[in-house]
A and B are shown apart, each in its own frame.
Chain A
Amino acid sequence: MGDHTMRAYDAELERLAQAITRMGGLAESQLDQAIGALVRRDSDLAARVVASDHQIDELEHEVQNLTVRLLALRQPMAIDLRAIVAALRISSDLERIGDYAANVAKRALVLNRIPMVEPVGAIPRMGRVVAEIIREVLDAYVENDADKALAAWRRDEEVDEMHTSLFRELITYMMEDPRNITACTHLMFIAKNIERIGDHATNVAETIHFQVRGTPIVGERPKADAIAPPPEAEEEIP
């Protein structure tokens, strides 16, 4: 919504929204390409994904600078205030999504040097769902659509289920043939990274809901069953 008496204010808010949209587009394409690099065993592509991560970081800085400037100069209220706070939160979620996508690419570089294992097929399925959720969330952002954000938010359950079943599948492979262990361990971390990306996408959905409606999403997403993967193993890949 434009129409501020100060047109420069509208222009700054618009710039902020555009920076977020660009960040979101980049994050989504980083995930797509990281998974492509894994499936096609394309190390050049994986390396490009790793090298591109800084672009998202730079956009995050731009969002931070714009936000501070808007808060200081415009004393935003109501919908504007929520949009600015939301941009700050969303940018940090998107930055994390970028990091996880780069992690997936780094694992792909390692995996491309050892023989392929079968369950690799379940990874792109999960990746596609998460990429779709990101797209839906970004649409919701661009369209200011809280219902769309809510619908995307609900889909995180799918991701959790896929992650759980992938985890079981990988365990089975490892038990069958210990030679699979190295590859499957990498895949497990990749699956975890993608699952985390899904969590950050749902954070973004929650933030959009708050931005548009001024209220948090109420109610809990149903959580996965008991034989779930271990909690966060936040790992750094050298």
Chain B
Amino acid sequence: MNVASKPALDQATLDDRRLAKVSARDVDVFYGAKQALKSVSIDIRPNEVTALIGPSGCGKSTFLRCLNRMNDLIESCRVAGSIWLDGEDIYTSGLDPVQLRARVGMVFQKPNPFPKTIYDNVAYGPRIHGLARSRAELDEIVMTSLEKAGLIDEVKDRLQEQGTGLSGGQQQRLCIARAIAVSPEVILMDEPCSALDPIATAKVEELIDELRQRFTIVIVTHSMQQAARVSQRTGFFHLGELVECGETEQIFTNPRHKLTQGYITGRFG
């Protein structure tokens, strides 16, 4: 067999981590005494879609939440190691977490539109961050965000209707529009399609591929096919460790670590 049991991580990091959009080094995460991530080092490259895969509980969401300090909101959670955004340490540089989350947006598993109109859902972030000086500017942001999220044609005549009245797939694209509206640089997506039907999923995946032009995307997914379809790079987590990271094509045709191989071929045990 060609697969080995030593970590296949030479592709995980760049020689110069400043060239990464997001760079993590030796990240440990604890929930109380329980260690959820062990010394994770990975560089997320700009304008790429990086997929994170692995069995439930391996720490994918935990890692994603480190990247915009969402873990700060969890009482018991402690993060060690360093995470940089554009060469700046997001934990120690004094960067305001609210500002950080505007630069590093997040889309969750279940579409979670606010109980507001479609318009207000998208306008929410720009208003909070004071991104528009006038109603016209805000309209502009809302419309372009809905357009970039591929939703404009479906909602342009019903902007004043409730966001929660949309279909599941439309709600998820509304959440993407909401994330885009504050002009983030990085978008984190935690199983964004797991509540969607195949057609809605296909639309979101197509959208992800387009968004890559403007944004850097990290997506956690349970669907290997989805990771294969949307990402350029894939990282495989197992029991809190990053086991293998490389070009998506290589990971799915010729993984180097036997755990990766076991997982993606459905032989995990």
Question: Could you tell me which A residues sit within 8 Å of B by CB distance?
Answer: 1, 3-6, 9, 75-82, 144, 146, 212-215
In the complex, whether B225 has a CB less than 8 A from a CB of chain A is yes
Instruction: Kindly state the separation between the CA atoms of A48 and B269 in the bound complex, as whole angstroms.
Output: 50
* Top 8 A-B pairs, shortest CB-CB distance: A214-B254, A77-B264, A213-B2, A3-B267, A80-B265, A77-B265, A78-B265, A4-B266
The answer to the question of B261 belonging to the interface, with a C-beta cut-off of 8 Å to chain A, is yes
Encode contact with A along B247-269: 1 for CB under 8 Å, 0 otherwise.
Answer: 00000111100001100111111
Q: What residue of chain A has the Cβ atom nearest to residue B252's Cβ?
A: A77
CB of B265 within 8 A of CB of A79, answer yes
Taking the complex as formed, is B224 at the interface, i.e. its CB lies under 8 A from any CB of chain A? yes
Q: Are A6's CB and B266's CB within 8 A?
A: yes
Expressed in whole angstroms, the minimum distance between the Cβ of B227 and any Cβ of chain A is: 10
Residue among A78, A146, A215 with the highest chain B CB neighbour number at 10 A: A78
Residues B253 and A78 in contact, CB atoms below 8 Å apart: yes
Q: Is the CB of B2 within 8 A of A77?
A: no
Query: Which residue of A has the minimal Cβ distance to B261?
Result: A78
Question: Which secondary structure dominates chain B's binding surface?
Answer: loop
B residues near A (Cβ < 8 Å) are 1-3, 224-225, 228, 252-255, 260-261, 264-269
A78 and B249 CA atoms in complex are apart in Å by 10
- CB distance B269 to A78 under 8 Å? no
- A76, A212, A214: the one contacting B265 at CB < 8 Å is A76
| B2 to A, closest residue via Cβ | A213
Q: Which residues of B contact A215 (CB under 8 A)?
A: 254
Which of A75, A78, A144 touches B255 (beta carbons < 8 Å)?
A: A78
A119 to B254, CA, bound (A): 48
Q: Is the CB of B269 within 8 A of A79?
A: no
By a CB distance below 8 angstroms, the chain A residues around B267 are: 1, 3-5
Given contact pairs A213-B2, A214-B253, A75 touches B264 in the complex (Cβ within 8 A): no
Q: Is the Cβ of B253 less than 8 Å from the Cβ of A81?
A: yes
Q: How far is the CA of A5 from the CA of B55 in the complex (A)?
A: 14
Q: How far is the CA of A214 from the CA of B250 in the complex (A)?
A: 9
How many Å from the CB of B235 to the closest CB on chain A?
A: 16
Which of A4, A9, A144 is the most central at the interface, judged by chain B CB atoms within 10 Å of its CB? A4
Contacts of B261 in A (CB 8 A): 78-79
Known contacts A78-B254, A82-B253, A214-B2; is-contact A5 B264 (Cβ 8 Å): no
Q: What would be 27 A-B contacts, judged by CB atoms less than 8 Å apart?
A: A1-B1, A3-B269, A4-B267, A5-B266, A5-B267, A5-B268, A9-B266, A77-B224, A77-B228, A77-B252, A77-B253, A77-B264, A77-B265, A78-B252, A78-B253, A78-B260, A78-B261, A78-B264, A79-B261, A80-B265, A81-B252, A82-B253, A144-B1, A212-B1, A212-B2, A214-B2, A214-B254
Q: Which residues of B contact A77 (CB under 8 A)?
A: 224, 228, 252-253, 264-266
> In the complex, what distance in Å separates the CA atom of A144 from the CA atom of B1?
8
In the complex, what residues of A have CB within 8 A of residue B268's CB?
5
Q: What is the CB-to-nearest-CB distance from B6 to chain A, in angstroms, rounded to a whole number?
A: 17
A8 to chain B, nearest CB (A): 12
